[in-house]
Structure 1
């Protein structure tokens, strides 16, 4: 992993009281991490967040929704929060924060970041190859 999207996560971490951010695939592979978290911790948390999103998506019918409509899960602990959001097809963004964080502010910032990440995660369409083998 070359962490080429790490700078985008670092940008999100400029919000007061945020701690760490990771971008992960649905199967728990680390795609990027903020600078403040070690690679080992980011890997371990990516695997855990994969399980968390799977649980959240599979409980969607409890509120009359389908798994495809899952958007965000927030876990609260005595000292803070974990925000887990869909970041594109098969990608998820997790951010941790202290209990003093502006929850609405973080949610808004994460949605902005998801828009930016979506542009980075989407592969541009390939041009059809011509018979000569060059790209059209």
Structure 2
């Protein structure tokens, strides 16, 4: 690796970061993936097949968020910072994590419960502290 290349999630294993997030109260799982749906890492205890489905689904949501930005009078194509999926007795938080990357966190609490705010704050703190390392390089197109 050249001296100028910043370590990124596609070159370094970030499982430890995601597993550490799951130590927060009621946080079940975490998945880091590229904006085109490629899993970069997932927390220990989460099956890879589930991580792949979460990445594909959440990637689509993030794309939709970009598509409807103008509805909120935000420049078209602007990526969402966070998407909340409110489910009975749980929720999923999907964050922009770094350049070309997204982080999904599942929490076993309803959206209005304090545990979700704590999980959200812990995730944001992780992202702010590690954003360059949570990023992914742009993948080359196949010719």
TM-score per shorter chain, which class? 0.7 to 0.9
CA displacement at 1:2 relative to structure 2: 8.6
The normalised TM-score by structure 2 is 0.77
Of residues 107, 111, 116, the one that matches 1:103 is: 116
RMSD: 2.1
Gaps of 5+ in 2: 1-9, 137-143
Q: Which has the higher contact order (CA 8 A, sep 6+)?
A: 2
Larger Rg over CA atoms: 1
Cα displacement (A) at 1:120:
1.6
Question: How many residues are paired up?
Answer: 123
Work out the CA distance in 2 between the residues paired with 1:57 and 1:109: 24
Unaligned runs of 5+ in 1: 124-136
Per-residue Cα deviation, 1:45-85 (whole angstroms, up to 9, x for no partner): 11111101111221121111123252111010112101000
4+ long deviations beyond 4 Å: none
Alpha-carbon distance in structure 2 between the residues aligned to 1:78 and 1:3: 35
Compare 55-64 and 12-21 and name the one that shifted more: 55-64
